[in-house]
Amino acid sequence: MKGVNLPVAKRYATALFELAKEKGLVEEIDQQAMYLEKKLSDPEVRRFIQHPEISLEAKLQFIQELFEEPPARPLLELIRLMLRRGRAADIQAVLDYYDILTDRYRGVEDVVVESAVELTEEEKQELLAVIKKFSDYNFRTTFRVNPDLLGGLVVYLGRDRVIDGSLSTALKELYELLNAPEARLMA
């Protein structure tokens, strides 16, 4: 996300998560955070929340009205704090990272596997056994076909790790290597 301060977003999300754990609200806040994150993906909603001339109270009222039921107090207080500190642009990243923390708390991690062709069930199971070496979590797995890969696989483990064994990336890296200034000097 453009202009997002990820270390700050992680700190806010971690503080919210710890408070939610303490109060027994992890799941409730996760559902509300995912809902609000989805609403904030609308450019009009984001513009309103980030507009410097709209008052803090008007923004908070607007956010509360997005929900059918009032959001959990810790979530609302976090949003109030972030708006007051001029961090409206980071709210979506905080909500996203909170979801990562709740998944880890549950012992679950998203895995997305992109392949150039459809994998058989046997290939999928073999691949998951290999990927398991990179994670201590149970997987929520999605398999997608991406013909642009030409061959091989790309594995997205969680939201912050990528294992790229695709032919298209290998060819791109080879092209860059052959066209690097030092490669031309050797020719």
Q: Does 88 share its domain with 159? A: no
Q: Does 46 share its domain with 79? A: yes
Tens of pLDDT, residues 80-100: 999 999 999 999 999 999 998
- Is residue 184 a part of any domain in this protein? no
Write out the residue range of the structural domain in which residue 25 sits: 6-104
Q: Does 10 share its domain with 87? A: yes
Nearest to 100 by CA among 165, 6, 164: 6
- Cα–Cα distance measured from residue 155 to residue 49, given in angstroms and rounded to the nearest whole number: 35
Q: Does 128 share its domain with 113? A: yes
- Is residue 117 a part of any domain in this protein? yes
Query: Band of the pLDDT at 4, cuts 50, 70, 90?
Result: low
| CA 93, 94, 97, 98 torsion-angle sign | negative
Question: Strand 138-145 to strand 108-115: parallel, antiparallel, or no bridges (unpaired)?
Answer: parallel
For the ranges 9-13, 111-115, 170-174, the lowest mean pLDDT is seen at 170-174
C-alpha distances (whole Å) from 91 to each of 1, 20, 39, 86, 97 are 11, 17, 11, 10, 10
65, 88, 104 — which closes off a domain? 104
Total tally of structural domains belonging to the chain: 2
Query: Band of the pLDDT at 186, cuts 50, 70, 90?
Result: low
Q: Tell me the CATH number at 36.
A: 1.10.520.20
Q: Does 17 share its domain with 83? A: yes
Average pLDDT value for residue range 163-179: 71
- Is residue 161 a part of any domain in this protein? yes
C-alpha distances (whole Å) from 135 to each of 131, 132, 164, 173 are 7, 5, 16, 27
- Cα–Cα distance measured from residue 43 to residue 54, given in angstroms and rounded to the nearest whole number: 16
Q: Does 41 share its domain with 124? A: no
74, 104, 134 — which closes off a domain? 104
- Is residue 52 a part of any domain in this protein? yes
Nearest 5°: CA angle at 150, between 148 and 152? Answer: 115
Q: Model-level pTM?
A: 0.70
Q: Does 98 share its domain with 113? A: no
> Burial code of 66-100, b = ≥16 C-beta within 10 A, e = fewer?
eeeeebbebbbebbeebbeeebbbbbbbbbbbbbb
104, 119, 134 — which closes off a domain? 104
Q: In sequence order, which residues have a C-beta less than 8 Å from that of residue 23 and are 6 or more positions away? A: 74
- Is residue 185 a part of any domain in this protein? no
